[in-house]
Structure 1
Amino acid sequence: MNVVFLSHVCDRKASNGGMVYSNQIISQLQRICDRVDVLYVYENPPKWRRWKIAHAFLRSIFARNPAKVIYFDRAETRRSFSEKIQASNADVVIFDHLETVIYMRPVLDRVRLVLIQHNDEARLYKERLMKIRHPLLAPLLKAECRKLVNFQKYAYTKIKNKIFISLDEMKSETESIDFDNRFCLLPSFDSSVSEKCHDCSHGEPINVAFLGNMDWWPNQDAVNWLLEEVFPHVVTDIKLHLIGMNSDADRYRRSNVVGHGFVRDATAIWEKANIFLAPIVSGAGLNLKVAEIIYNRKSIISTPRGVRGIPLIGDPAILIKQTAIEWISALNDRRQLDELNRTLPLIQNSSLFERRTSSDRLKLFLETCK
């Protein structure tokens, strides 16, 4: 089986969850397919990015497609994509992220099409829009949102084979639009599972950590909520480690908060704490970092939104807390934190994210694509 995989931006640091998930799928495809050709709209994060975004918005005022799609529509990519399909004799073309569906037209009729839906993009856009009250910008973005909803419906209608990262969003999509072949592919990992780091003795601060790219607005919302609504009321001696791109920004500095920025060495991440926090209050899809935390058998305190889309079973190492009051209570319970510090997630939950099992399922899905 020959596959052409089209994605939008190649982030060689893989500093965001979307790029990590895409790389995981590419790795699995290379194991199970005869040939895999990978093409990016932008081989590197584009220069003058803000200007390009503004230009896309201006073009979208007079266009059917939203700015988010126009931004990734490039004539040179159209040419190279068409040439790649012909040269590789592709059996399957995979569009990674909704925006890449704009390149669907040159694909031959005999080729099977697959869409990888990282998030419900329309729902995510609507949620972000609710936070914007600017009298001029808000109406423009509402029009953009309507265009994005229509583009997503178009993609769902034209592409009958879809891969979802989130089980919840896959089920939600089946309720609105009928299609032939759907598949939930959870994030998967094949790295060695980390060991528990040093237990805090009595009198030492409890180390907890948040893992996420702080350029992504749902992660910003999460940490802001934690620092503003929860931490001012926590009296337990806790040290919070923020790990991820721009987590060392001045805005997050507190006496009991350490920002480490982007950490390339995975081992160094898991040495920071035995308890991780996922105070996710916005966003769509599945939180890949939560999956990675559970795979590495670290205890976690999460909002329901943080574990959304993951088919977990009850687990003493995974605490689900909804409100700020519940979070304050949990973080002020030193006895419970000490217990979490020693507890590993159940193997039934951590094994959900093992790559060796997901590769076989992905191969079966591709073989049944229409």
Structure 2
Amino acid sequence: MKPALLYLTNQIPFPPSKKSRLRDFYTLQVLSEHFDISLGAFIREKSDWQYTSMLRQWCKDVFFLPNMAELQETMAWVKAWALGHSYFRVICQQPDMQEWIDDIRQKRQMQKVYIANPLMAHYVPFDDPNLTTVVDFTRLPSEQVKQRINRSAWPTTAFLKWELEKLQQEEINIANQASLNLGCASAELHSFKEELKKIDRPALLLPVGVDQNFFDPKRQYINPFEEEQKILVFPGALDYWPNVDAVTWFVREIFPLIRSRVKNAHFYIIGENPCMPVQVLAQYPGVHVVDEYHDIRPYLAHANVAIAPVQLAEMAKTQILEAISMATPLVASKGALENLAIEAKKPIYCEETDEQWVHRIVECLTSPDDKAALDWEREIIVKEHNWEVTLSPLLHFLGVDIQEPKWVRAFSDKRVKVGTKSSG
């Protein structure tokens, strides 16, 4: 019989094709191999209800509630101001969820809790000495608000700055109480990582992973492109501002130069929820925005080259690993390749100047693939970046008898000082 673990998240951790849910899903999947999972989650979109039954294969118990943000937005802001809490905390504060959590903890005699987003942390009694709590700060709510502030005007900015201050206070308070704080290596979270170093609590930064069995280039995929096209692809969430900035720069500054040299070059921007600045990019010759698709693999399998010009985003590392796992040549920025167990060498290129980007992509579009080199890099990814490996420090902390690869432990240790408290 496996020990019990409570898994809490502010969004249903499925499907993994939605990049914002990918880490949550694979963490759930890996944890389910060692624990009996009780999953509590909110449903953010009506279409997500169709996935609830699928999650039962990894969970002993499940409990889902609809996200009430849109229906209660005005009242939530009023309540947040009255209580001195963040708006995000208020919309995630539902009595039915608290009642289920209290009941399932007692029923399953829970001693371990994994909190996939700090917005769910207020449901857990951190002062319980018998409870081991792990909080994942990879997707910081305060960082999302910070991005909105930079792109908003008054009076919206006034509300958002107040919200940012409250969220940052709540996040640091949570980190001060958790048994273990998890993060990623993204430069976006630099200020928060600096705060973690001041906190006398255990903390780990985990590398990203990839499902190499799913992203298998040896399978047959129907070509979604026209035969005569030379294809560049950018996969990623298209309402995520680092991605928006990256594709906007590429379409305006780089792609016209590429198309002047390769007339049949076509750039496919592929992802969910494209915001208006991304949608308008489809007006440029040879640029396509694809938001209705069920599987990214055919696009990667038949592309001549994938690009990752993102400088900061951790999700860029996910799309890099997926492209390499699909044996697709890759051109990326230095920041996108940082902290991955791969080398920037043919057919994986790290470029900085505009001319370097143009030259390398033109080369990829006009030269045959180096299949042997692609296969070699994929072998490295399979060995070093599968999810069981990248999550091994978390499993070890939770008491699972598992060997941690040296590079993963070194990665975790060098990023944030790791405390001495164990899960017991």
TM-score for both structures, normalised by structure 2: 0.74
- 1:125 is matched with 145
Tell me the secondary structure at the aligned position of residue 158 of structure 1.
coil
1:41 aligns with 2:68: no
- Report which structure shows greater RCO (CA 8 Å, sep ≥6): 1
- 1:138 is matched with 157
1:260 aligns with 2:260: no
Q: Is the contact made by 1:210 and 1:277 (CA closer than 8 Å) also made in structure 2?
A: yes
**Shift in Å, 1:288:** 2.4
Paired residue for 1:97, among 98, 104, 117? Answer: 117
Distance 1:190 1:61 in 2: 46
| One-letter code aligned to 1:152 | E
Task: Give structure 2 stretches of 5+ with no counterpart.
Answer: 47-65, 400-421
Query: For residues 60 and 188 of structure 1, do their structure 2 counterparts lie closer, same or farther at Cα, with a shift above 3 Å needed?
Result: same
Per-residue displacement from partner, 1:287-321 (whole Å, max 9, x unpaired)? Answer: 42223223333221122333344343343222223
Q: Is the contact made by 2:92 and 2:119 (CA closer than 8 Å) also made in structure 1?
A: yes
Query: For residues 123 and 258 of structure 1, do their structure 2 counterparts lie closer, same or farther at Cα, with a shift above 3 Å needed?
Result: closer
Equivalent residues in 2 for 1:140-219, closer than 5 Å: 140-166=159-185, 172=194, 174-182=196-204, 184-192=206-214, 193-195=216-218, 205-219=229-243
- 1:20 is matched with 22
**Shift in Å, 1:154:** 0.6
Equivalent residues in 2 for 1:1-370, closer than 5 Å: 1-10=3-12, 12-33=14-35, 35-42=36-43, 45=46, 46=66, 49-105=69-125, 108-132=128-152, 134-166=153-185, 172=194, 174-182=196-204, 184-192=206-214, 193-195=216-218, 205-234=229-258, 235-237=260-262, 238-246=265-273, 250-253=279-282, 254-281=284-311, 283=313, 287-331=317-361, 333-334=362-363, 338=367, 342=371, 343-344=373-374, 346=377, 347-358=379-390, 360-367=392-399, 368-369=422-423
- 2:419 is matched with none
Task: Give structure 1 stretches of 5+ with no counterpart.
Answer: none
Q: Is the contact made by 1:85 and 1:107 (CA closer than 8 Å) also made in structure 2?
A: no
Query: For residues 9 and 87 of structure 1, do their structure 2 counterparts lie closer, same or farther at Cα, with a shift above 3 Å needed?
Result: same
Distance 1:135 1:179 in 2: 38
Structure 1 stretch 253-262 or stretch 283-292: which is displaced more?
283-292
TM-score for both structures, normalised by structure 1: 0.84
Q: Is the contact made by 1:15 and 1:262 (CA closer than 8 Å) also made in structure 2?
A: no
How many positions carry a matched residue from both structures? 364
**Shift in Å, 1:92:** 0.5
Per-residue displacement from partner, 1:158-214 (whole Å, max 9, x unpaired)? Answer: 11312324376596565343322535152231425214999xxxx954311111122
| One-letter code aligned to 1:139 | A
Distance 2:155 2:285 in 1: 39
**Shift in Å, 1:108:** 4.0
Give the fraction of aligned pairs with identical amino acids, expressed as a percent.
Answer: 14
Distance 1:117 1:334 in 2: 39
Q: CA RMSD in A?
A: 3.4
Query: For residues 245 and 301 of structure 1, do their structure 2 counterparts lie closer, same or farther at Cα, with a shift above 3 Å needed?
Result: same
Query: For residues 278 and 352 of structure 1, do their structure 2 counterparts lie closer, same or farther at Cα, with a shift above 3 Å needed?
Result: same
| One-letter code aligned to 2:231 | N
Per-residue displacement from partner, 1:8-44 (whole Å, max 9, x unpaired)? Answer: 11164444223111110111111122x1111103375
